[in-house]
Amino acid sequence: MREAYREALKAFDEDEVPIGAVVVQNNVIIGRGHNRVEGLRDPTAHAEIIAISAACNTIGDWRLADSAIFVTVEPCLMCIGAIINARIEKVVYGIREPKFGALGSVLNILEYKNFNHTLKVEKSNIFDEEITALMKRFFESKRNRTHSVGNAS
């Protein structure tokens, strides 16, 4: 989770929602990513998608069997779809995402039993305080900028 948090810090520094992810196979990081939605002007450029793409490029296959993804924030529905399609075995996530989380916060995609792939999920408590503080700091700075821009006229 430490490496995923480092990726989240990169996103924060780039003025992106500070979420980071790493894909690990055989105890080796094979893919890293952080949110790049604003920078790439791409709504699919979530940390998980970027980390999965990097991992696929690293191993030369779209199937990431026997791998795990560590992500600082509970994945959204789009990212869970990519995780399932990539055949990732396990998701370890940091804090819950009450507006978009697809592993229990908004909906629980794992309740649907028709998928051709099963996914293990683990809620980590490592770095929870740091991740929460980073997210709060990011969104507070966004709100402050919005209010100061609105008050400038």
Residues taking part in catalysis: 48
Cα separation values, 57 from 32, 50, 61, 64, 87, Å = 11, 11, 7, 11, 15
DSSP code for 100? T
* Residues facing 108 on adjacent strands: 103
Strand order through the sheet with 67-73 = 28-34, 20-25, 67-73, 90-95, 120-123
